[in-house]
A = this chain, B = another copy of it.
Amino acid sequence: MSKNIVIVGAVAAGPKAACRLKRLRPDWNVTMLDQDSLISYGGCGIPYYVCGDVSDEKELRSTSFHMVRDETFFEQAKGVRVLTRTRALAIDRKNKTVRVENLNTGEAGELPYDKLLLATGAQPVRLPIPGIDLDGVFAIADLHKAIAIKERIAQGKVSRAVVVGGGAIGIEMAEAFTDLWGVETTLVEYMPQLLPRIVDWHFAAMLKKHLEEKSVRIHTGESAVEILGDDQGKVTGVRTGQRTLEADLVIMAVGVRPRSDLAREAGLSVTPWGGIKVNHRMQTTDPDIYAAGDCIATTHLVTGKDAFAPFGSLANREGRIAADNMAGGASHFPGVVGSYVMKAFERCIASTGISYETALAEGFAADYSLTAPADRAHFFPGEAIVVYQMVFDRNTRRVLGLQGFGMMNDSISARIDTAAGLIARGATIEDFMTVEMAYSPPFSSAIDSINAAAYVADNLCAGLLRKVGLDRFFAWMEDFGREPDWVALDIRHLQEATPYAAKFGERWLAIPYNEMRQRHGEIPEDKTMIILCDAGTRSYEVQVMLDAVGKRNSLVLSGGFNVIRRVGADWLL
C-alpha cells in the first residue's frame, strides 16, 4: 500500500533518502521540501567555488553526468516531488502532518505523512558581538552567500578580508581568498590553535606555519569582539582583544550547530547542544519520525559519547540508512570515528579518532607515537616527509586516533582511511602493526608509515623507547633554565649538527649516529640527554644502545628535526 513520505531539507541527507526511498518503494509518494530555492548542492565545495577552482555554482548542484539537481530533475528523473522556498513550521505528531508555508506566496498548508524525515542540517553559530549584521559580513550558511561573496571579490570590491574562526571552513575560505584573488587575508581564532579539538597543537602549528608561508596572517588565542562599519552600514574592520584589523569583507566561520528547533518543538529528544537524538536506525524518539545529516547527534565509536559530525559524506550515508529503515528494512548506522581531511594550499592535514588532548580529557591512559617518515620509498623521486601521530591507550593498547600532515596528495588519506576502518572496530596497536598496506616504491615504503607508527607505539608500551614531548623541548630551547640538566645529543651527520653545537655550546653535543657504539663513553652520565635526529628512528636506536651500556639518562625527541622544522622555531639555523 502506498505511503506518504515527507522529507524536510533538500541538501545531502534529504535528497539521498528521497531517491533511495523511491527505488525501494517506487509506489510511495515522496515529498521533499526546503526553505531555500537552491537545493542538493555540495556545500563542502563552496570554498573551491569561491576560489574559482569550480567556475559555476551550478557545478556544485549537478550530477556527475552534468544535470542540475533542481525541482524538475528530482520530479522527472527520480519521481520525487520537491517544494522549494517552503518552510516546515511545525509537526503535528498526533495527526501526522507537517504544517508548511510557502515563503514566496505566504500560503500555508498541511502535508500528511506516514513517515517523516528531518534532514534540516546545521546553521552557522552567530557570535553575540556588535556589527554582525553589517553589509559585507558573511557566514557560509548556504549557496546564496557563496555566490554573493564571489561576486564581491570578482568585482574587485575586496582587498582585505578577515576570517573569524580557524576551523576547516575558515581555513579553506582564507586559502580561497589568498590563493586566487590575492586578497590580503587575516584569520582570527579565539582558541590557542587552529583546528581546535580536531588535531593536537603541533599539527595545528605545522598547518599555521604553512598558511603563513602562503601569506595568510593568523592570530590564534584572539577573540573578535566587534565588527566595525561605516556610516553606510558597510563593514570596515574587525576589532579583537589585541588589535583592529581593516576589512572589506568578513567571514564568520565560528562553527555550526544542528538546526533542530522543529524537532524540539515537536517534543522529540534533543541533546543540550541541539543534536536530534536518533537510534542506530536513524529513528528519533517518535518511531515514525527519522532524522539524518547535520541535525542529529550520533555516537562516537571511540568515546562512546554523543557526537556532532556534520560532514556531507555522513549525511549521505545516514540518508540512505534512514530510507532503508523507513521502507521497512533494517539498516544500521554504527556511529562515527570523526574522519577528517583538509587541503591547505600545498599541504594536507587529516585525522581520525580522537586527539591526544581529547584522549587525556576522556580519561584514557593516553600516549602517542610521533613519526616523520617519507611518504613513499625514500629513493623514489618526489617522495616527501609526512608526519603522523598515533594516539593509543597504554593499558588496553587500543588505538584511539591518527593524525597526519604532509604534501597535498592522497597519501595521508590512505593511512587515515585505513585507520578509520580499524579504529571503528576497536583495533589495537598489533592490528596496526600488521595491517597490509599495498607496497610498491611509487606508493609506499617497505615499512609503511602506518605500520611504522604502530611499531613506535609498541616500543613505547614495551619501555624500549622513552620520549620527550615537543612542547617541553621547545620550552627548554627558549629557556635552558627550565631543565638545567638537559643536553641535546645531536646524532645527525656532522655537517648538520656542528653548527648547532657551535651555537649552543655545552647544551648541544654532536656525535654521529654511526659512531655512537665507539664513542658512547663521551656521553655524560649526570645529564639528561635529549637525542635528536631527523625522523626520530636513529635516536631510538641510540637510546636502546646507550641503555645497553648502562646509560639510561636519555630521552628521544620523537619526529626530530622533520617535525621541528615544520612547526618552526626562532633558533633553527
Contact = CB atoms under 8 A, between A and B. Distances in A.
Interface of A: 12, 19, 23-24, 26-27, 42, 44-45, 48, 53-54, 59-60, 62-67, 73, 76-79, 168, 311-317, 320, 332-334, 336-343, 348, 350-352, 373-374, 377-381, 408-411, 413-418, 420-422, 424-425, 427, 430-431, 433-444, 446-448, 451, 455, 464, 492-493, 513-518, 533-535, 538, 541, 544-545, 547-548
A312 B73 CA distance: 52
A403 B545 CA distance: 44
Given A414-B417, A417-B435, 18 more contacts: A42-B377, A44-B440, A45-B380, A48-B379, A63-B378, A73-B514, A76-B515, A79-B545, A313-B447, A313-B448, A314-B439, A343-B442, A410-B443, A414-B414, A415-B417, A418-B421, A421-B421, A421-B427
Contact of A544 (B23, B451, B492): B23
Contact of A313 (B332, B374, B439): B439
Nearest to A339: B438
Contacts of A446: 12, 42, 44, 312-313, 315-316
B53 A381 contact: yes
A410 B414 contact: yes
B53 A517 contact: no
B464 A380 contact: no
So how many copies of this chain end up in the complex? 2
Q: Which of A78, A410, A444 has the most CB of B within 10 A?
A: A410
A455 B171 CA distance: 33
A519 B535 CA distance: 64
B352 A438 contact: yes
A434 B313 contact: no
A394 to B, nearest CB: 18
Contacts of A538: 65
Contacts of A518: 76
Contacts of A76: 514-515, 517-518
Given A44-B446, A313-B444, A438 B413 contact: yes
Contact of A48 (B79, B380, B430, B439): B380
Contacts of A430: 332
Contacts of A42: 377, 379, 441, 446
A440 B65 contact: no
A425 B425 contact: yes
B435 A420 contact: yes
A435 B421 CA distance: 5
Contact of A416 (B66, B348, B438): B438
